[in-house]
Structure 1
Amino acid sequence: MDFSFGAGDEELRARARTWLTARLAGPYADLRGLGGPGSEHEGTEQRRGWERELGHGGWIGQGWDVPAGAYGQQRLSLTGQVVWAEEYAALRAPGRVGHIGENLLAPTLIAYGTPEQQARFLPGIARGEELWCQGYSEPDAGSDLAGVRTVAVRDPADGLPRVTGQKIWTSLAQDADWCFVLARTESGSRRHRGLSFLLVPMDQPGRIEVRPIRQMSGTAEFNEVFFDGAVAAETVGGEGNGWAVAMGLLALERGVSTLVQQIGFAAELERVLADHLAAGAPDPVLRERLVRQWAELRTMRWNALRTLGSAGDPGAPSVAKLLWGGWHRRLGELAVEVRGAAATAGSGPWSREVPYERGLDEGQRLFLFTRADTIYGGSDEIQRNIIAERVLGLPKEPR
């Protein structure tokens, strides 16, 4: 299979590199490398400005299934989106605070929303002005979304749903303007029935409370979100059809973004390899494991490229998640193993008054954060069940 890019793609690569280099050398120079996985709390206000810069350049919404320029955005081919994403990652541009709105909510509105909903929300996302967060997981319904208990009851006065319940592991909830929430709108319903996909404004004092979750790495980019009669402005896909909309959204969550992620993985692998070589007498067992990590990363890239056009394939996202989740966790283990006893010592001051991360170096943070890679975003068990039941047609797991 030919994984090379065409002449047009290479022209786009040069244009994207020029645009990014110019802007990352100016007022946004300090944002390079900020806001990646495990560090999404860094520089969020400055990254909001960067989001608006991307919108002004037409770089948001490149893959939306709408006419080019409908919302001021460039319309790129699938390979063009890959080129842009690769250049973005290679130049260490900051982590996107608009990722959830651009890559999850917007395509979902295009597929399931009304023209009025698209006209209301897509322009703000395309301009980088409105940020979104995702209200799916709950304390007792993480990967098992059909178990959500958050409810929404329509207010007879205005007919709008009022949301009550708790969501957890909500990235960037403290900065988001809106949240799309999966809630139970049919009393007495169970599992995937009676759910609705709701759009909830976050600026509702007294009705929405956001509590950061301090992780063992010291960061707090995830949050608990408590809804107490919060007003939902819109229902996407019709009341009671939330499961179909939610599943459609999850199918969009992996794709081009997986290739971007792998560029970051490659940089992390290089740093771990440098630590191994700096040890003086490389351990042959660790060397073999590092070579295996390199080979597996190349395989993941080819698999991601091969499946980019497999929209609707229920197994492709699950296979990708299984591959990178386990790979990244093993890299985190190697990050501390190659340094031996030195990896157990902190690299900076630590006290109860400052964030724990002050005493952790890059390798230690990598090790701690990657403990969660096989759990969040759908645990390995859930991904294997999806492949077994929806792709291979095996019997469902007994409950």
Structure 2
Amino acid sequence: MEYDMGEGVETLRRDLRELVHKHVPPDFLGAFTDDPADLEVAQSFSRTLAELGLLCMAWPTEFGGRGATLWEQTVVREEMWAHHEPRGAQYMGVNWVGPAIMRHGTAEQQQRHLPPIARGEVIWCQGFSEPESGSDLASLRTTAHPDEESGGWRVSGQKVWTSYATMAQWCFLLARTSREKRRQQGLTVFLVPMSDPAIEVRPIPSMLGPHHLNEVFFDELRVTEADVLGTVGGGWSIVQEVLAFERVGIARYARVERLLQAAPAALGAEWDVLPEELRSRWARMLVHARRARLLAYRVVSLQAGGRIRPDDSAAYRIAVTRLDQESAEVLMDIVAGASLPGEEGRRFRRAVEDHRRYSVSATVASGSVEMQRILMSRSLLAAR
């Protein structure tokens, strides 16, 4: 199965690789390390992409984009993830925060939030998961109580696993504004500044390094009608839409494929003496990477046609997170007994170890594999 991605796509891919080679250090393994210079590399590179009209290519021109096709934007996300995401946390604003504000925001919200995202100047975090409401998001306890004094609400509660909360300027926050018969009802999305003193961020140390995992506490945070995205009580439908775009917006398969393809050259003569069973596993992972790519392309094709179904993005999510973990095991077995001499060998080993570290959480982050299977099952049952 092949998809027609349109003219100019290969030129775009080549231009992006040249930009990465020019602006991103060869040792770069992501923005969220102990070295602040890595974050600055990502912020600077995002601004460079924005100046060239490459950061938000598929956005409409009135919102700072180029009106490019979703396929062109797919090429951007593939090349960024293949090269350890040199946009840093900008993919969140580009892939789903910005589009959600386009579809559901007021003119004032669009004017306030979209230009900074399009320029690569602002970082967003996502206030969804809670200590007892991760996969079962509808059971969240963070509550927005009516504030009779201001006519708005006061938000109190706790979020957890909030990536980039220590560096973000804004939070896409989901809170309960009313108690309804169905838990999915009565939820509202608020767009809130992380600089508000009623918000406290506590980093959670982990093997993923700084910035990835944080607790966020809201202590009587004041919000108003102007902070509501969409309608009061209509947050669940926005979040379902957001998660579908988020899951396909991370092209994990591109990084996996690049690492797998780099293995023979990195090992040199040692590649030929690897056990046949290990090389067979390596080849199988290349096939699985291609499968995940095609599943992603199916969802992009549906998006291009103006529709997206949760079960399609769930199928992709299952395939790509399993690919993450299984490929990490194969790659770690490949480098385990290899000498990998020289600078290129050292970089390859570090990249594989980095991939392994992040793959551990792949089947949990952004919705567990178990929840994706439930989504697919419900869809199949509903179609019968």
Normalising by the residue count of structure 2, what TM-score does the alignment of the two structures yield?
0.85
Question: C-alpha displacement at 1:386, in angstroms?
Answer: 0.2
Match of 2:232 in 1: 239
Q: 2:129 aligns with which of 118, 137, 150?
A: 137
**Which whole-Å deviations, capped at 9, do the CAs of 1:186-208 have from their partners, x for residues lacking one?**
15766212111111110023x11
SS in structure 1 at match of 2:217: strand
CA distance in 2 between partners of 1:17 and 1:46 (Å): 16
The more displaced of 113-122 and 214-223 is 214-223
SS in structure 1 at match of 2:247: coil
Match of 2:367 in 1: 378
Q: Does 1:251 align with 2:247?
A: no
Q: 1:163 aligns with which of 129, 144, 155?
A: 155
Code of the aligned partner of 1:155: D
Does the 8 Å CA contact 2:146/2:152 hold for their aligned counterparts? yes
Q: Does 1:60 align with 2:55?
A: yes
Alignment of 1:233-312 (within 5 A): 234-255=227-248, 257-258=249-250, 260-271=251-262, 274=266, 278=270, 281-310=273-302, 311-312=307-308
Alignment of 1:1-399 (within 5 A): 1-13=1-13, 16=16, 20=19, 25=22, 28-30=23-25, 33-35=28-30, 43-64=38-59, 66=60, 68=61, 70-89=62-81, 94-187=86-179, 191-205=183-197, 207-232=198-223, 234-255=227-248, 257-258=249-250, 260-271=251-262, 274=266, 278=270, 281-310=273-302, 311-340=307-336, 361-393=350-382
Q: How many residues end up aligned between the 2 structures?
A: 368
Code of the aligned partner of 2:133: A
**Which whole-Å deviations, capped at 9, do the CAs of 1:261-285 have from their partners, x for residues lacking one?**
3221112223555459737732222
Does the 8 Å CA contact 2:244/2:313 hold for their aligned counterparts? yes
Detail structure 1 runs of 4+ shifted over 6 Å in the superposition.
Answer: 36-42
CA distance in 1 between partners of 2:260 and 2:175 (Å): 40
CA distance in 2 between partners of 1:32 and 1:12 (Å): 23
Code of the aligned partner of 1:285: E
Does the 8 Å CA contact 1:32/1:92 hold for their aligned counterparts? no
Which runs of 5 or more structure 1 residues have no equivalent in the other structure? Answer: 344-359
CA distance in 1 between partners of 2:63 and 2:383 (Å): 44
CA distance in 2 between partners of 1:37 and 1:175 (Å): 10
Question: C-alpha displacement at 1:88, in angstroms?
Answer: 4.3
CA distance in 1 between partners of 2:148 and 2:111 (Å): 27
SS in structure 2 at match of 1:323: helix
Which runs of 5 or more structure 2 residues have no equivalent in the other structure? Answer: 340-348
Change (3 A) 1:361 1:47: closer
Change (3 A) 1:113 1:93: closer
Question: C-alpha displacement at 1:90, in angstroms?
Answer: 5.7
Code of the aligned partner of 2:167: D
Question: C-alpha displacement at 1:13, in angstroms?
Answer: 4.3
SS in structure 2 at match of 1:30: coil
Code of the aligned partner of 2:52: G
**Which whole-Å deviations, capped at 9, do the CAs of 1:162-198 have from their partners, x for residues lacking one?**
2211111111111110001111111576621211111
Does the 8 Å CA contact 2:31/2:42 hold for their aligned counterparts? no
CA distance in 2 between partners of 1:249 and 1:181 (Å): 12
Normalising by the residue count of structure 1, what TM-score does the alignment of the two structures yield?
0.82
Code of the aligned partner of 2:73: Q
Question: C-alpha displacement at 1:219, in angstroms?
Answer: 4.9
SS in structure 1 at match of 2:25: helix
RMSD, aligned α-carbons: 3.1
Question: C-alpha displacement at 1:60, in angstroms?
Answer: 3.0
Question: C-alpha displacement at 1:104, in angstroms?
Answer: 1.2
Match of 1:353 in 2: none
Change (3 A) 1:373 1:92: closer
The more displaced of 171-180 and 187-196 is 187-196
* Structure with higher helix content: 2
The share of aligned pairs that are identical, in percent, is 34
CA distance in 2 between partners of 1:32 and 1:126 (Å): 27
SS in structure 1 at match of 2:200: strand
Does the 8 Å CA contact 2:46/2:90 hold for their aligned counterparts? yes
Change (3 A) 1:88 1:342: closer
Does the 8 Å CA contact 1:34/1:42 hold for their aligned counterparts? no
Does the 8 Å CA contact 2:17/2:79 hold for their aligned counterparts? yes
Question: C-alpha displacement at 1:59, in angstroms?
Answer: 2.2
Does the 8 Å CA contact 1:276/1:338 hold for their aligned counterparts? no
Question: C-alpha displacement at 1:318, in angstroms?
Answer: 0.3
